[in-house]
Structure 1
Amino acid sequence: MITKHEKQSILVVDDVPVNIEVLRELLRSDYMVKAATNGVNAIKIAQSSPQPDLILLDIMMPDLDGYDVINRLKSNPKTAGIPVIFVTAMNEVHDEQLGFELGAVDYITKPISPSIVFARVKTHLAMYNYNRRLEEEVIKRTHELNHSQMEIIQRLGRAAEFKDDETGLHVIRMSHYSALIAQAAGMPPNWCETLKGAAPMHDIGKIGIAESILLKPGDLTDEEQKSLRKHPEIGAEIIGEHDSSLLKIARSIALTHHERWDGSGYPEGLSQSNIPIEGRIVAIADVFDVLTTARPYKESWSVEDAVMLIEESANSHFDPELVAAFLLALPEILIVKDKYQPTAS
């Protein structure tokens, strides 16, 4: 954002040097003026840092004319937001209409009127600066909202685990494991971060399951097993339907992380790629952490035994490609495992 002590910059593009000098002399006392005598250099300057805040663009130039230049600027996300004013001797109505259709914010005909040029430049720079401030504020507020949303999700996830994991560290570990597996599988960084934020909600449906079932040390009866298997659907219902990508993935994870690659899982009996990838990833992360952690009803397994079971379960319980990603990420997973252990009381 431009401060009151900084001059905003204007790029003047014209193949006639004297035209550039006229505009430079008009604007130099209030603005930093850059210049280009052809379209190729204009695009290079527009893409360089710091970028111009506004472009005064001639249309009739050799090689790349003004229409070509604005097309390239508007097709590049890096330069698409820079306002462009055409300054040209082409003064037919259809010329002006075409300029606006291509994305110009204004159209000034030659010979120029200094007062008109100065007024139009001042107006459009003020609007550009205002829009940038507004965009920055939207980004800031969106970040704050996403952060708050993620905090709530993580805390709810920990609450769901509190009955059999009083530290709440299971959801922290397995969410990190999930992100590391996703990274090793080549998923985009932003998606991996969203997955990490959503994964703690995987067992939120356990809130609706009786403690006598969750904490039972022995085998569950058929009726108890049937009751326990309702928690994915309960979790999906708790989370509900939302536009938020974070909550969409959280719901998907809650509903599908007990599905199995061979179709023998629950609640829908989905198989292979019909299981959303977030559910397939969290399935591995969750099982690994549950196996290697002591619970009131079970002893912990060694890392070696847990890894062996996961490898043996590729193509049956787990997606074989994601098992390979898990093995690739294992050194980093073990670092996370050591970091988030309960402190001795």
Structure 2
Amino acid sequence: MEQQTLLIVDDTSANIDVLAGMLKADYKIKVAKSGEIALKLAKSAALDLILLDIMMPGIDGFEVCRLLKEDYTTRHIPIIFVTAKITAEDELKGLELGAVDYITKPLNPPIVQQRVRTHLALFNQSRELAIKVKQKTAELAQTQLKVIQKLGLAAEYKDNETGMHVIRVSHYTHILAKAAGMSETDADMLMAASPMHDIGKIGVDDAILRKPGKLTSEEFELMKMHAQIGADIIGDNDSEILKMARVVAISHHEKWNGSGYPYGLKGEAIPRIGRIVAIADVFDALTSKRPYKRAWSIEEAVNLLKQEAGQHFDPQLVPLFIAHIDEVETVMHSFKD
């Protein structure tokens, strides 16, 4: 069985060495000496558990936990706080933020090893349960997915795009979400939500959507409104899929360098699921034939993604997408227009 991967986060090298020494015989160990580095590692590596110090300069452990738990792509990773001093109020705060446990210093190796084993076992059981639930509810999930896809198609009928666009984008999204470390459950949910990314085009004038030439600045301003219109159509819901769909609709035209719309968000301020769908959406648009353009080759589209990494697109996500281009190509051939 492949070793599971732990991330140890502490600003003191000695503390990292002590924890790593207790666990390295049984697990792959990654380390981060700041909250900022921990956040980057959590989004670039597949982690099974995080051991997180609370008192750190810059972003403290509580804030790291909060940011990881509010991100759909990292919220599934169990977090154990490791701390020297802990009050009842601090312990409650950490648990409310989503941590699964606390380990107090000085560290006792058998207790640390047992706590880690216990929470990894619970994490594995949770994943297995999610798979079983998915199997049991497959028919309902398929029905729900088809309904959402049909809503996505409603927007495409007003545009020059084809019905297969939303299907391909949803599959590309799933591939990238998994590569980015998203749990199977959340990746499936994002796949189901992504067809509604352009639902707001229903509210844009047909003459603008179907214009074969370049839009005027006034027309483009009207076109940009579809992101907000889409979010308004989806609205506020208790449904997790529709919550995701709303985030994607409002954020998938934002750009990493802040030049996107509707809010001009920049970098990490853009929801990561919006950044994932942005790559999937643009790649499909480039590689699809339209009345006003030829279909680009995969190589041409990949080169554009590389050029725009750090400008239009998240520079961490672009290499992950390219690394799975064989899977992307399979989807492309399976769902031709």
Q: Contact (CA 8 Å) 2:158, 2:202: kept in 1 or not?
A: no
TM-score, length basis structure 1:
0.57
- In the alignment, is residue 278 of structure 1 matched against residue 273 of structure 2? yes
TM-score, length basis structure 2:
0.59
- What is the deviation of 1:149? 2.8
Name 2:198's counterpart in structure 1: 203
Read off the aligned partner of 1:203 and give its amino acid letter: D
- What is the deviation of 1:140? 9.4
CA 77–313 in structure 1, closer or farther in 2 if over 3 Å, else same:
closer
Q: 2:320 aligns with which of 311, 318, 325?
A: 325
- What is the deviation of 1:151? 1.9
Read off the aligned partner of 2:232 and give its amino acid letter: E
Aligned mates of 1:283, 1:139 — CA distance in 2: 27
Q: 1:339 aligns with which of 314, 331, 334?
A: 334
Q: 1:301 aligns with which of 296, 304, 307?
A: 296
Aligned mates of 1:327, 1:321 — CA distance in 2: 11
Q: Contact (CA 8 Å) 1:216, 1:297: kept in 2 or not?
A: no
- In the alignment, is residue 177 of structure 1 matched against residue 172 of structure 2? yes
Q: Contact (CA 8 Å) 2:158, 2:201: kept in 1 or not?
A: no
Aligned mates of 2:217, 2:310 — CA distance in 1: 26
- What is the deviation of 1:166? 6.5
Q: Contact (CA 8 Å) 1:164, 1:295: kept in 2 or not?
A: no
Name 1:157's counterpart in structure 2: 152
Q: Contact (CA 8 Å) 2:160, 2:210: kept in 1 or not?
A: no
Name 2:181's counterpart in structure 1: 186
Name 1:254's counterpart in structure 2: 249
Read off the aligned partner of 2:257 and give its amino acid letter: D
Name 1:287's counterpart in structure 2: 282
Residues 289-344 of structure 1, C-alpha deviations (whole Å, 9 max, x = no match): 001101122222121111101111001100011001111111100010011112xx
Q: Contact (CA 8 Å) 1:215, 1:297: kept in 2 or not?
A: no
Q: Secondary structure at the match of 2:282?
A: helix
Aligned mates of 1:223, 1:294 — CA distance in 2: 26
Q: Secondary structure at the match of 1:300?
A: coil
Residues 149-197 of structure 1, C-alpha deviations (whole Å, 9 max, x = no match): 3221111101211233564000000110010011111211111101110
Aligned mates of 1:78, 1:316 — CA distance in 2: 37
Map 1:212-231 to 2 at 5 A.
212-231=207-226
Q: Contact (CA 8 Å) 1:215, 1:296: kept in 2 or not?
A: no
* Structure 1: 5+ residue stretches without partners: 1-71, 80-137
- In the alignment, is residue 263 of structure 1 matched against residue 253 of structure 2? no
Aligned mates of 1:139, 1:340 — CA distance in 2: 24
RMSD between superposed Cα atoms in Å: 2.4
Read off the aligned partner of 1:305 and give its amino acid letter: E
Map 1:137-152 to 2 at 5 A.
145-152=140-147
CA 166–219 in structure 1, closer or farther in 2 if over 3 Å, else same:
closer
Q: Secondary structure at the match of 2:192?
A: helix
Structure number, greater radius of gyration: 1
Q: Contact (CA 8 Å) 2:161, 2:290: kept in 1 or not?
A: no
Map 1:88-167 to 2 at 5 A.
145-165=140-160, 167=162
Query: What's the % identity of the aligned pairs?
Result: 52
Decide which moves more: 258-267 or 150-159. 150-159
Q: Contact (CA 8 Å) 1:235, 1:255: kept in 2 or not?
A: yes
* Structure 2: 5+ residue stretches without partners: 1-117, 126-132
Aligned mates of 1:149, 1:237 — CA distance in 2: 20
Q: Secondary structure at the match of 1:298?
A: coil
Deviant stretches of 4+, over 6 Å: 75-79, 138-142
Aligned mates of 2:234, 2:176 — CA distance in 1: 24
Q: How many corresponding residue pairs? A: 211
Aligned mates of 2:134, 2:273 — CA distance in 1: 26
Q: Secondary structure at the match of 2:316?
A: helix
Q: Contact (CA 8 Å) 1:198, 1:249: kept in 2 or not?
A: yes
Residues 103-149 of structure 1, C-alpha deviations (whole Å, 9 max, x = no match): xxxxxxxxxxxxxxxxxxxxxxxxxxxxxxxxxxx999966554433
Read off the aligned partner of 1:330 and give its amino acid letter: I
Read off the aligned partner of 1:307 and give its amino acid letter: V
Name 1:102's counterpart in structure 2: none
Name 1:243's counterpart in structure 2: 238
Aligned mates of 1:166, 1:305 — CA distance in 2: 20
Aligned mates of 1:198, 1:301 — CA distance in 2: 26
Aligned mates of 1:143, 1:243 — CA distance in 2: 20
